[in-house]
Structure 1
Amino acid sequence: MTEATFDAARPDTPTRRPLLHMARRLLPRLGGGLAALLAVGYGLNWWLTGRFIESTDNAYVRADVVTVSARISGYVAEVDVRDNQAVRRGEVLAHIDAAPFRARVDQARASVAAAEADIAVETAAVATLDAQVTQQRSLIGQAEAEAAAADAELRRTSLEWERQRSLSERQVSSQQRFEAAEADHTKAAATLRGAQAALASQRARLAVLEAEQRGKAAACDKARATLQQAQAALALASIDLDNTALRAPVDGLIGQRVVRVGQYVDPGQPLLAVVPHDAYVVANFKETQLGRIAAGQAVTLEVDAFDGEVLHGRVDSFAPASGAQFALLPPDNATGNFTKIVQRMPVRITLDGGQRRAAALRPGLSVVAHVDTRGDASHGR
């Protein structure tokens, strides 16, 4: 390489020096202009959008987790699900040994059958007594007719006896006819007394039958009550038998499974949990941020686990009190050493439908929530 060519290739040759001086003068200006442009862009973005955004990183995914527990006592015979398994509502999760509960159902059915038989017996007895009462009333009617006939015969014989006595005293009629009339009168009186006694007896018999009828009706009512009691016992036994199968209350995923085959369980004992798919977000905003937040406003959610991918939702509702009020030991600020602390208010945020990653949310994940307070606040709090 010649010396002229070498000099031409050097960066600090006289032909390159003006360009270097110009670049050194323009670079600071370009940097300042770019910084000014960025500042203007940031300021414009803050003025148009940023000043309306309320954000918090004190937000977490939540779901209405359902704890499944036994309703009856017994030994677990089968466990049909595993950890983290997806289940549908009504799907069987586990079985409790059903043999003793089937026996109780059979026993209850036998009690129902016995009660129904008792009702049949008592109903037949009531029907028999009803027939007897009806017959007795007929007999009383017959006795009343016989008593009325005897009374009429007594009146006839009395008149005849009086007439024969008058004729006998005047010696118009014979003594024999008078004695016959007197005998007929005495016989008619006796017949009347007999008919009246028979009528009284029939009426007394009716009173006895009516008392028995009331007793049998009461016994029949008692048998019906016993049947209802047996039917209720059968229903309870059937419910207990159905409860030997533990079913999923909602669609979701199985978690916190502690139930095992052979385990003895009691009513109310937690066995596993079902985490539903419809998750939501609870964002704890400072009380100083709540002035412009209202239900219905749009929310952008940054989920830490999704590596920058955002979800969208809406402000649903506000908690009725701050989180501190629901603590086990709520703070009591009526003290001499009071220090004011900014409180947090839980705000529930529902997710918009149709988002691909929404199904991947799990309760407990951390979220950064940004509420656009320019949205529709017509729903109020």
Structure 2
Amino acid sequence: MPPGVPLSPPPPSALANPESLTRRSHRFQPKSIWPVAILAMFVMLAIVGIKAYRSLSQNPAQSEQTVEQEARLPVRVTRAETGLAQKWVFDDGIVWPVKRRVLTFQAEGDIQAIAKINGRDLRAGDVVTKGQVLATIDSRRQRSAIDTANADVEVAVQQRNQAQATVVQAQASLDRAKSDLELAKTELVRYQELFDQGVISESDRDVYLNQVDQAEAALRSAEQDVRSAEDGVRSAEAQITAAQARVTETNVDLEDTQLVAPIDGVVAYINIREGEYWDAQRLNSGSDQDLIESAPIILVNPQDIEVEIEIQADEANEIDPGQLTYVVLEEDVSAAQAAGASNQDLLEIAQDNGSRGTVFSVSPTQTPGSRGTQVSIRGFSSAQNLR
């Protein structure tokens, strides 16, 4: 019989006619499962009946004693309820793109130019590309310093070349001095033999002895000239290195007069105009708001944002990185709470009107002034109320 096909009892006519069963007894007939199932059911009922009979036939005193013993186990029944494991935290926060750059001049001077976009000055909302010059201040002093440094490099190179030529000349003089010394020594040996044979006088021999002494002195002088010339080469090379360093430094000074976009992004804030004088005292970094209002230019990448909020330290202890977070405007929640909204209602408001993200970081220290803890929220899957 194929699997999955239910078994069924034989038709009533077959059960009612024993002869038909007898006639078919010589052929194989599959046995029905129903008698077995019925038997099992009866066995179970019999067991239940026996247990029921035994329980009814027990001594009532024993039954009461059993009930009293079981009643000694205290049981407390509490209704299970589902709720929201959440907590609302309200405080001032600031929305920042994760990639943001504060551009400021490192030099002082009059602002000479601001980048033009479609014939107009750069303004907030304009898209810029990495490496684009956005603003410059007067750089005449820096460019003059670059010219001077480049001239110093050329002078040092010329001095190095002259020192190298002097080395070549000194080396040639040294070679001649060595040759002259060898010749003087050879002559001295020959005239010493003549003096020993009595052919020449002592004074004649001393002439060649003096020539050897003079050749040795000339050799020492030539060696000193070579060393001096090599020192001159090293000094000239050091001057070249110093001049090149000044060129690099002056180029950096020139870069300090320019604001160049370090990333592809959008101008979020611009607080400078052509003709204004810029100095470092204009930049106020006391707070985020002060920085926004005083920095020359702030660039952002609006595709990836974060929320920075400062909360009380005891509340920060309950927050861990990676926790799910909804950022909701305070007025939305306050209005709902005033209307008697439940936690479930607030959650629905957060899901409908808020921005869903995760806790990115929790500062391990407290800010000195407010004694609060800085919490950063990133990874927003939706940021409908943060733009």
Q: Shared topology, TM-score over 0.5?
A: yes
The reply to whether residue 60 of structure 1 matches residue 88 of structure 2 is no
1:150-203 CA-partner distances (Å, limit 9, x unpaired):
11222233xxxxxxxxxxxxxxxxxxxxxxxxxx242xx333211110000111
SS in 2 for 1:300: strand
Shift, 1:287, TM fit: 4.2
Shift, 1:142, TM fit: 0.8
Paired position in structure 1 for 2:355: 311
Paired position in structure 1 for 2:374: 346
Shift, 1:58, TM fit: 1.5
1:291-314 CA-partner distances (Å, limit 9, x unpaired):
543221111222459996221111
Specify the code of the residue in structure 2 equivalent to 1:194.
V
Cα RMSD (Å): 2.9
Paired position in structure 2 for 1:154: 195
Paired position in structure 2 for 1:75: 110
1:267 and 1:203 mapped to 2: Cα distance? 68
SS in 1 for 2:365: coil
Specify the code of the residue in structure 2 equivalent to 1:345.
T
Specify the code of the residue in structure 2 equivalent to 1:61.
I
Paired position in structure 2 for 1:198: 211
Shift, 1:232, TM fit: 1.2
The reply to whether residue 95 of structure 1 matches residue 136 of structure 2 is yes
Q: For the structure 1 residues 261 and 202, does the alpha-carbon distance in structure 2 shift closer, same or farther, using more than 3 Å as the test?
A: same
Q: Is the 8 A contact 2:356 2:383 kept in 1?
A: no
Q: For the structure 1 residues 248 and 126, does the alpha-carbon distance in structure 2 shift closer, same or farther, using more than 3 Å as the test?
A: same
User: Which of 316, 322, 328 pairs up with 1:296?
Assistant: 322
2:331 and 2:164 mapped to 1: Cα distance? 74
Specify the code of the residue in structure 1 equivalent to 2:321.
A
Q: For the structure 1 residues 74 and 61, does the alpha-carbon distance in structure 2 shift closer, same or farther, using more than 3 Å as the test?
A: closer
User: Which of 296, 301, 320 pairs up with 1:272?
Assistant: 296
The reply to whether residue 247 of structure 1 matches residue 260 of structure 2 is yes
Unaligned stretches of 5+ in structure 1?
1-42, 158-183, 331-342, 363-381
SS in 2 for 1:320: strand
Paired position in structure 2 for 1:281: 307
Q: For the structure 1 residues 209 and 274, does the alpha-carbon distance in structure 2 shift closer, same or farther, using more than 3 Å as the test?
A: same
Q: For the structure 1 residues 213 and 191, does the alpha-carbon distance in structure 2 shift closer, same or farther, using more than 3 Å as the test?
A: same
Q: For the structure 1 residues 207 and 291, does the alpha-carbon distance in structure 2 shift closer, same or farther, using more than 3 Å as the test?
A: closer
Q: Which has the higher contact order (CA 8 A, sep 6+)?
A: 1
Q: Is the 8 A contact 1:60 1:283 kept in 2?
A: yes
Specify the code of the residue in structure 2 equivalent to 1:263.
E
Paired position in structure 1 for 2:73: none
Paired position in structure 2 for 1:38: none
The reply to whether residue 231 of structure 1 matches residue 235 of structure 2 is no
Q: For the structure 1 residues 287 and 110, does the alpha-carbon distance in structure 2 shift closer, same or farther, using more than 3 Å as the test?
A: closer
Shift, 1:53, TM fit: 0.7
SS in 2 for 1:54: coil
Q: For the structure 1 residues 99 and 255, does the alpha-carbon distance in structure 2 shift closer, same or farther, using more than 3 Å as the test?
A: same
Specify the code of the residue in structure 2 equivalent to 1:114.
V
Shift, 1:231, TM fit: 1.1
Q: Is the 8 A contact 1:67 1:273 kept in 2?
A: yes
Q: TM-score, normalised by structure 2?
A: 0.61
SS in 2 for 1:56: coil
Paired residues, number = 270
Shift, 1:110, TM fit: 1.8
User: Which of 166, 172, 195 pairs up with 1:125?
Assistant: 166
SS in 2 for 1:48: coil
2:317 and 2:138 mapped to 1: Cα distance? 58
1:66 and 1:87 mapped to 2: Cα distance? 12
The reply to whether residue 136 of structure 1 matches residue 177 of structure 2 is yes
Q: Is the 8 A contact 1:69 1:269 kept in 2?
A: no
Shift, 1:251, TM fit: 4.5
1:301-357 CA-partner distances (Å, limit 9, x unpaired):
22459996221111122112234xx21xx7xxxxxxxxxxxx75332211335x363
Unaligned stretches of 5+ in structure 2?
1-78, 116-121, 284-294, 333-348
Q: TM-score, normalised by structure 1?
A: 0.62
SS in 1 for 2:272: coil
Paired position in structure 2 for 1:48: 82
Specify the code of the residue in structure 1 equivalent to 2:377.
I
The reply to whether residue 209 of structure 1 matches residue 214 of structure 2 is no
Paired position in structure 1 for 2:343: none
2:242 and 2:312 mapped to 1: Cα distance? 59
Specify the code of the residue in structure 2 equivalent to 1:318.
V
Q: For the structure 1 residues 156 and 101, does the alpha-carbon distance in structure 2 shift closer, same or farther, using more than 3 Å as the test?
A: same
2:89 and 2:326 mapped to 1: Cα distance? 11
Identity of aligned residues (%): 20
Q: Is the 8 A contact 1:66 1:275 kept in 2?
A: yes
Q: For the structure 1 residues 99 and 273, does the alpha-carbon distance in structure 2 shift closer, same or farther, using more than 3 Å as the test?
A: closer
Q: Is the 8 A contact 2:135 2:258 kept in 1?
A: yes
Paired position in structure 2 for 1:35: none
